[in-house]
Amino acid sequence: MKALVTGGGGFLGLYITEQLVTRGEDVRVFCRGDYPRLNELGVEVQRGDIRDSAAVAAACAGMDVVFHTAAIPGVWGPWSQYYEINTLGTEHVIAGCQQQGVPKLVYTSSPSVVFGSTSHENADESLPYPTEYACHYPHTKALAEQAVLAANGQRGLATCALRPHLIWGPRDNHLVPRLIQRARSGRLRRVGDGSNLVSMTYVENTAHAHLQAADALNADSAVAGQAYFINEPEPVNLWQWIDQLLALVDLPPVKRSVSTKTALRIGGALETVYRLLHLPGEPPMTRFLAAQLSCSHYYSVEKARRDFGYAPQVTFPEAMQRLQRDLAARA
């Protein structure tokens, strides 16, 4: 199988690339940067920007499947940047697949595309898209997901979207480092009463789910045109997990807390100040972040289990051990 991975040098994309190589697939990666690990793997690398439609189309040439993981994450920044990369970039991938006759497209979405400001408890894919979003990332990802699913069956292309929740693991350069850095600087506060449950997704399990979905995806399959939550079957207490994470690097548990109402109020005020004064960086608290840190948000994976046999390959205790070894190696 000839597979293209957009963003294949990134956190999730690299794990997908590695698993494809291990299976003996012929892999091409489309990315902007230079990644030594890709050279070690011996995969073909095409450098380019997801906003360049011609470059994306060229990367899709001759492929049997495209895994589209490239995106800009985060909770702050200009609409144009998020829209051009997450939404228009995805439209370029769809067009590239259709122009080049690619039969399969697996899109990496996010549960945040259906997250408003209230808790989700064992929710499934029947959740509607909200009418308003608290930040640009989930909004632009939702527009992209809808475009991917609408493209299913058009010009010979079968599509599906996976929604992995809170991806973490070795080589993470976003979630885990940010939590540790905030704890070390004394700026990490528990938001809410600390009882909220969330779904977590270990990165190697997430990558495996992408391969499973691609294997099952074809024009006549149950997977075609569908979105799927991907996470460990059982939720965890968010703040207990954060304390476990901090213990891996010999940091004390989170002691200080702030109420959800206060965090939302602070987040809204900081957003206004940063926007009006054009301050660099991102606010230490936003309304979206306050909701994510205080609400429960965990999801059923029954649909993914039923349609393409999703099941985590790495257990939670083993995943934590692998993360600990990675953090020790980085120290």
Q: Catalytic residue numbers?
A: 137
Beta-bridge partners for 137? none
Q: Which two tokens stand for residue 32?
A: 């902007």
Q: How far apart are CA 105 and CA 246, in angstroms?
A: 37
**How many C-beta neighbours within 10 Å does residue 64 have?**
15
What are the b/e assignments for 155-169, b being 16+ CB within 10 Å?
A: eebbbbbbbbbbbbb
Cβ atoms of residues 168 and 202 within 8 Å: yes
CB 97 within 8 A of CB 37: no
Strands (E) in 199-312, as ranges, are 201-202, 226-230, 236-237, 257-258, 297-299
Question: Are 109 and 144 within 8 A, CB to CB?
Answer: yes
